[in-house]
Structure 1
């Protein structure tokens, strides 16, 4: 294992050289820096020395000390970068560049004592212990097909802009996605682990796609926590099972997403940005754009300029969310601690998800209530449909005692049932609507590239379900040349 440490440390040596050059450049230039700027650049040089010290501690077999030294160096860089920004003539970009490089060293895949293809030894394996055995996010696998995920996330302007959005306007969405994911983690992460994909990538996609809302459906018909279109979902086994759309099942959706990502990573030669673009814009379109040169950058004008604004924003946003998943503390971000261990209860009395939400209240400190979590963990249940006594409902384990104390006897289940049975008054004296005349129809011939959703959007006066019912379509499937009967706008 000692030899592994030395080899891994030697892999990091080029970064040390880069920092040496960076510090050397700090004192050069056409003019002599002001005294304050010189002092700030001297602190940058000290940070470089701290980096070297961290490497030496790793080589000596003391990764914990190396990690501590690196964190102290990062704090120094942060504070110095702030002063640099307020000092005339000081180039802040030098500090941010060094900060970015050190974050990549801080990544768990590059400072531990595990081999390149081994699980981090600080984490626990998935076994019969279930959720308690899942490693913490900081210990999660960060390799993507043998490559460090942190080295695949380029800190360019687009990603930095997305980082700012996640840390400002989108911050509530990011926190909600984190909370939702912690309760879904036991169902979703194992599929990524089995596929040798980094957990941070799963979180980044989910945060951008649905925020962890299992029943989310987009205007284009994408559904589930990872927003699969119907046809793509079918290709990866997300069919209708006993009347339930498996796109809404967290475990099945994560499995399908992992299979899709690995398939497209192979197509695009492990180019993560092109693979994410394919997930958003469609793999067929990306293949036509990229052609045989899979080494082309996502930001190459030949690619970037042909993409929709949605896809241009999507790729850096996913990467930024993944980066924050790995390094929250380094961006002044604190994710809440969540006890996501899974549990279940057998209902002692009939209750719906809505009724359980009312009687559980803010148990466990969840001020916003448990409706979203209970829906996510029970995707097959209609939240308004009362489940019989004896039915099993999935919930966080920490709520098992709260259920017994609050939802079996006492005033809260009675109140919840009373609210659930309430109904708005029925208006009985309203005049009946005039009988509708026969609907006029016309015909539409399906062309190449048409989808049922696209056709209905052109009509502007119908719905997908109406057209599907009129033409007896199964799973919204249409074919080129098919003549559809469609409503005629009045």
Structure 2
């Protein structure tokens, strides 16, 4: 076992040390590290793009997006990042449902009087969309700041007209985290919403943590390593109910898990399959 651990550490150090050490280097390796700029690019050109797959509760998402005049893909990006579309999700921070609405504070501000109502998918999605709209209005259309405030709270994200606003490091990372899930929702899609092309249904999977990351640049670099070395693995970046963000192995059957863990072992990684989460 010690040999396996040392191999894991040695390989991880190789991956980390191969990363660029300057901010400019990170931008060259991983585009859109400036998430304020990335969200502005999205707002100016991709807000009408159709999600690449058909997602759970899509009718509810469409209604909420239309009601609050926000992009469908943006609402879905929050849902994927916050719960992976799990209507029963509950966090250690007392956040509930698909959009992880915090009880009781934020929930009561959004009109909820019963905790159980947060587990109604459509009500939760509508409330999440309303809160996103409130944050976008508060920050004069700046999606980067709105996304940061969704997680950090508006009291911790200053309103500013600066072109490159400074926000807490953790808030910037959260913006990058949701931006990652936005890219997954769009899947490179440029299809307009009215496109009649049939889309594959999205099936959320179980996750096994491989490594913990809160820095978007390092998480993306780590995932790129697996995409190159073993393209058949489904590797993604998700938060646990305790707020930890991990690069994870996604699986949908025990047989797939066994095969994929074997591939990870060959690459020098030995995830603890008992730590799986939904």
Q: When the two structures are superposed, what TM-score results if normalisation uses the length of structure 1?
A: 0.29
